[in-house]
Structure 1
Amino acid sequence: MYKNIIFDFGGVMVDFDPKDYLMERFCHESAEEKIYRLTFGSETWAQLDAGLISRFEGNQKMLEDAKAEGCLFEVQEVLDDWMSILRIRRRMLDLVRRLKSHGYCVYYLSNMPEDALALLREKGLLDKFDGGIASCEVHINKPDPRIYQALLEKYNLKATECVFIDDSRPNVQTAFQLGMNGLQMKESVGTLVRSLATCNISLR
């Protein structure tokens, strides 16, 4: 019997599709690929997610790399503006509320740099959950099993009583390996609700 539903933030609770954002901004596939590699897809960004470097340090490193590849201005634009894509999904907030009203506990487990986490805290998103862990707080990124274990231990949860929802297949696979049920968020909230129903989680 499932008692706990664990949500990722980016791509699940919050709009976050950096490749679409870059394509819309630059309208050029090769430019999008290069800038993604220098920003969101870089090792520096992974270090930001893990809270291993400050935003200032991370931005300086990404700008140095961008300068060496002749796209300093474009990367600076992205670093100045990227958090504008972090829009909270209202229908997902409604789903969280409905789950809580049916007696489930809800948690978050997300890869996220400190400044983005602070923004979502200011917007009140974290208050909607019974608890959670962001990667920057424990210096570990998904899909490393240790961050999942940290959440389970912090709130004394049993893996077999948890359903984990993420837009990333590798992250969902790790949840399965640890004994949780895992659902990959692919499309609409309605599709997710039907997937939850297959886990005997009915919201009617």
Structure 2
Amino acid sequence: MYKNIVFDFGGVMVDFDPKEYLVDRFCNADVEEQVYQLTFGSEEWKLLDAGLITRFEANQRMLARAKEQGRAFEVQGVLDDWMHILRPRRRMQELVQKLKSHGYCVYYLSNIPEDVLDLLMERDMKGLFDGGVASCEVHINKPDPRIYQALLDKYGLKAKESVFIDDRLDNIQAAFQLGFTGIQMKDSVGTLVRSLATCNVVVR
């Protein structure tokens, strides 16, 4: 019997599709891929998620590399603008509230920088979750198994009593190895609800 439902943020609780954003912005596959590797796909982005570098330091490093590749203008524009793609999914918030009303404990487990975490918790997620672990707080990113264990240890949870929902398959697989039941968020909230129902998780 499941007692805990654990949610990722980006791609689950909020819209976050950087590649789609870059397609809309540049309409040029070569530029999109190059700018992605200089920003969202960069080592600096991973260090930001892990709380091992400040936003200022990360931006300066990304811009320095972008200048070397002749993409400083494009990268600066992305760094100034990208946060607007973090749009809350209201139906997901409603789902979390329904799960709580049915007696489930709800937590978050997310790769996320400190400034974005603060923004989302203040703007969209205040009081929504019973707790959670962010990568920037423990300096570990998914799919490293230690971040999942940090959540279990922090709240005294059992993996076999927990369902983990994430948009990335590698993160789901890592959770599964620790004993979680994993559901990959692919398209709609309705599909997720049906997947939860197959786990006998009551959401209606």
Same fold (TM over 0.5): yes
1:41 aligns with 2:38: no
Tell me the amino acid that sits aligned with residue 48 of structure 1.
Answer: L
1:57 is paired with a residue of what secondary structure? helix
Per-residue displacement from partner, 1:1-23 (whole Å, max 9, x unpaired)?
00000000000000000000011
Distance in 2, Cα, partners of 1:28 & 1:54: 30
The 5-angstrom pairing of residues 15-26 of structure 1 reads 15-26=15-26
Distance in 1, Cα, partners of 2:155 & 2:13: 21
Distance in 2, Cα, partners of 1:78 & 1:144: 28
Tell me the amino acid that sits aligned with residue 83 of structure 1.
Answer: M
Distance in 2, Cα, partners of 1:115 & 1:67: 25
Normalised by the size of structure 2, how large is the TM-score?
A: 0.99
1:125 aligns with 2:125: yes
Tell me the amino acid that sits aligned with residue 14 of structure 1.
Answer: V
Q: Report the counterpart of residue 197 of structure 1 in structure 2.
A: 197
Asked if structure 1 preserves the Cα contact closer than 8 Å seen for 2:167 and 2:186, the reply is yes
1:125 is paired with a residue of what secondary structure? coil
Q: Report the counterpart of residue 63 of structure 1 in structure 2.
A: 63
Per-residue displacement from partner, 1:65-116 (whole Å, max 9, x unpaired)?
0000001011000001111111110000000010000000000000001111
From the superposition, tell whether residues 126 and 134 of structure 1 become closer, same or farther in structure 2 (CA, over 3 Å): farther
Shift of residue 127, structure 1, vs aligned partner = 2.0
1:112 is paired with a residue of what secondary structure? coil
Distance in 1, Cα, partners of 2:126 & 2:144: 22
1:132 is paired with a residue of what secondary structure? strand
Distance in 2, Cα, partners of 1:192 & 1:9: 15
1:149 is paired with a residue of what secondary structure? helix
1:91 aligns with 2:91: yes
Q: Report the counterpart of residue 141 of structure 1 in structure 2.
A: 141
1:74 aligns with 2:74: yes
Q: Report the counterpart of residue 113 of structure 1 in structure 2.
A: 113
Asked if structure 1 preserves the Cα contact closer than 8 Å seen for 2:88 and 2:124, the reply is no
Distance in 2, Cα, partners of 1:152 & 1:122: 24
Shift of residue 124, structure 1, vs aligned partner = 3.8
- Structure 1 runs of 4+ aligned residues shifted over 4 Å read none
2:51 is paired with a residue of what secondary structure? coil
Q: Report the counterpart of residue 2 of structure 1 in structure 2.
A: 2
Shift of residue 126, structure 1, vs aligned partner = 4.2
Distance in 2, Cα, partners of 1:35 & 1:93: 32
2:165 is paired with a residue of what secondary structure? strand
Structure 1 unaligned residues grouped into runs of 5+: none
Distance in 2, Cα, partners of 1:16 & 1:97: 21
Tell me the amino acid that sits aligned with residue 177 of structure 1.
Answer: Q
Structure 2 unaligned residues grouped into runs of 5+: none
Asked if structure 1 preserves the Cα contact closer than 8 Å seen for 2:48 and 2:136, the reply is yes
Distance in 2, Cα, partners of 1:5 & 1:45: 27
When the two chains are superposed, the root-mean-square deviation of aligned CA atoms in Å is: 0.7
